[in-house]
């Protein structure tokens, strides 16, 4: 991987899941600002297409791929399209996720458990399996998986979410070990609560959303929730040559949430 004055990831092709909104959108925009050709992948077609058009209007190179991260056939199609269009893949960011809370274990329904694990963990596995293969074929690159502070700090009524994000953290380390000889770095970013539609939905599911919001802010020693661009900056670091000796690392960007 190389960079030049045009940007820290100039000339590289990046594939970002969950790119239509929230943290994924911020990541896609940040990588594009730093010179990457960005492929926006999401199930939200209208929002994804609109963002791709916006980036192209700003003289960035961007395209949209409709992708359900839980479906292997869609991963195969999307990655094949990227390789055919840009000649390969250098950066993969597995960001697509869902927040599922509000269910204590004694009442937790299996359907919610499976859906959460399918999107948050199976989706990362499939991204590694197919996006990772494209990066290996290109000769190396960087993969960043978005985990969560919930992989380290348990959240009441968050069994499925915590389990899925802990799985992402360990899956990242396995991939880092296996692919280090192949020139592929694999790292994870662990956000705290960030002002996104995902977190807003998690709050909405709570019995008292206003109380949960206030409690979430109080849990962060910095006294606020995070912002999407703050997570995007961490992803950019791992994607760039500035992190050339980092693999299997966890970068916690949580406003101090996990400290107490």
CATH at residue 52: 3.40.50.720
Q: Which of 125, 161, 193, 257 is catalytic?
A: 161
Alpha-carbon distance of 33 to 30, in angstroms, equals: 5
What single DSSP character describes residue 207? S
Q: Are 146 and 25 in contact (CB under 8 A)?
A: no
pLDDT score for 28:
98
- Examine the residue annotation and report whether 161 is marked as an active-site residue of this protein: yes
Q: Is 171 part of any domain? A: yes
pLDDT score for 99:
84
The structure tokens listed for 260 are 């107490």
Q: Is 69 part of any domain? A: yes
Q: Considering the chain, what percentage of its residues have pLDDT values greater than 90?
A: 85
Alpha-carbon distance of 195 to 174, in angstroms, equals: 30
Query: 1 or 248, which is more confident?
Result: 248
Q: Is 211 part of any domain? A: no
Query: 197 or 243, which is more confident?
Result: 243
pTM over 0.75: yes
Alpha-carbon distance of 97 to 162, in angstroms, equals: 12
Q: pLDDT, tens digit, for every residue of 63-113?
A: 999 999 999 999 999 999 999 999 999 999 999 999 876 788 899 999 999
Q: Is 102 part of any domain? A: yes
**Cβ burial, residue 47 (10 Å; 0-12/13-18/19+):** middle
Question: With bands split at pLDDT 50, 70 and 90, how would you rate the model's confidence at 5?
Answer: low
Q: Is 48 part of any domain? A: yes
pLDDT score for 1:
38
Q: Is 38 part of any domain? A: yes
Average pLDDT over residues 119-123: 98
Between the alpha carbon of residue 247 and those of residues 61, 145, 177, 189, the distances in Å are 28, 12, 8, 12
pLDDT score for 236:
98
pLDDT score for 203:
80
Q: Is 32 part of any domain? A: yes
Q: How many domains in the chain? A: 1
The residue segments making up the domain with residue 21 are 13-194+227-248
pLDDT score for 24:
98
Q: Is the pLDDT of residue 6 over 90?
A: no
Q: Is 205 part of any domain? A: no
Average pLDDT over residues 146-152: 95
């Amino acid at each position: 991987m190389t960079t030049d004055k045009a940007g820290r990831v100039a000339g590289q092709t990046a594939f970002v899941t969950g790119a239509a909104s929230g943290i994924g959108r911020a990541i896609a925009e940040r990588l594009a600002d730093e010179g990457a050709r960005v492929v926006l992948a999401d199930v939200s077609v209208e929002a994804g297409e609109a963002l791709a058009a916006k980036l192209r209007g700003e003289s960035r190179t961007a395209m949209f791929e409709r992708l359900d991260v839980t479906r292997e056939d869609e991963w195969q199609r999307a990655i094949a399209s990227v390789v055919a269009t840009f000649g390969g893949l250098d950066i993969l960011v597995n960001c697509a996720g869902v927040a599922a809370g509000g269910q204590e274990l004694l009442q937790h329904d299996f359907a919610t458990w499976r859906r959460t694990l399918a999107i948050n963990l199976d989706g990362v596995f499939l991204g590694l399996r197919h996006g990772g293969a494209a990066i290996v074929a290109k000769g190396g690159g960087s993969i960043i998986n978005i985990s969560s502070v919930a992989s380290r700090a348990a959240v009441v009524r968050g069994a499925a979410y915590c389990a899925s994000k802990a799985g992402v953290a360990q899956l990242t380390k396995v991939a880092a070990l296996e692919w280090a000889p192949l020139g592929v770095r694999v790292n994870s970013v662990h956000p705290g609560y960030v002002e996104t539609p995902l977190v807003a939905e998690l709050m909405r599911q709570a019995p008292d959303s206003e109380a949960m919001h206030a409690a979430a802010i109080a849990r962060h020693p910095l006294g606020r929730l995070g912002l999407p661009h703050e997570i995007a900056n961490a992803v950019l670091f791992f994607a760039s040559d500035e992190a050339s000796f980092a693999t299997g690392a966890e970068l916690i960007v949580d406003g101090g949430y996990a400290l107490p």
